[in-house]
Amino acid sequence: MNQHELLVRGSYYHVYNRGINSCKLFQEEDNYGYFLELYDKHISPIADTYAWVLMPNHFHLLVRIREFAEMRNPQGFEDPGGSGRATHQNFSNLFNAYTKAINKLYHRTGSLFEHPFHRKRITDLDYFKNLVIFIHNNPVYHGYAKHAMDYPWSSYLRRISLNRTNLKKNQVLAWFDNEANFKYLHAQRPGYFGKDDLSDVLP
């Protein structure tokens, strides 16, 4: 995995990171909501989101970087050569905007996130499914919940909700064949981090 690799349009990625020196990213409930607001502003225009979880000191995302023609680009970035620099900048803008807000709110200075952020390109369907389970069960593994549905700051509840969301719920469901199987596999493997390198990710 090359942490400096530019994001390729049309590709799927596991994006993850933690607070610098493992510091807390989210200290109270409002922090989580504000991060999601910034995520929608900076990332939703350039990427489809399939799964996510926000933990006190780290996060995990499963995203697909959109092709240039699919992107909503309100920030005016140009990337005619397809280098991926524009999409990488959107993630940097998200982290910088959140850091500035947290620093101001809690009277701190300096970096909040580790640099650079981690990303792993995903090409295998079994890895997709394991990664979704891994992301949703991260709170279970770390002792914050007994079941994925008990943790409020992940896409698990959004996936089974009827409320409108930017989450690609139907595509995720198709990977698991149906909702019953989706719930079953999550419940059967609450502490499962999967194989093929899922055990070496943060934290």
> Is there a domain that residue 4 lies in?
no
> Is there a domain that residue 134 lies in?
yes
Token duo for residue 129: 């499914």
Separation of alpha carbons 147 and 139, rounded Å:
8
| Closest by Cα among 122, 107, 146 to 198 | 122
Segments forming the whole domain that contains residue 22: 12-69+82-197
How many structural domains is the chain composed of? 1
Give me the amino acid identity at 38: L
Separation of alpha carbons 99 and 110, rounded Å:
8
Q: Is the pLDDT score of 172 beyond 70? A: yes
> Is there a domain that residue 6 lies in?
no
Q: 177: buried, middle or exposed (CB in 10 Å: 19+, 13-18, 0-12)? A: exposed
> Is there a domain that residue 5 lies in?
no
> Is there a domain that residue 87 lies in?
yes
Separation of alpha carbons 117 and 61, rounded Å:
11
Separation of alpha carbons 15 and 71, rounded Å:
19
For 36-83, the pLDDT digits (tens) are 999 999 999 999 999 999 999 999 999 999 987 777 654 444 454 445
SS3 58: strand
* Cis peptide bond N-terminal to 203, omega within 30: yes
> Is there a domain that residue 111 lies in?
yes
> Is there a domain that residue 2 lies in?
no
Token duo for residue 122: 């995903």
> Is there a domain that residue 7 lies in?
no
CATH number for the domain that contains residue 157: 3.30.70.1290
For 100-144, the pLDDT digits (tens) are 999 999 999 999 999 889 999 998 888 888 899 999 999 998 999
* pLDDT for the residue 81: 44
pTM of the model: 0.86
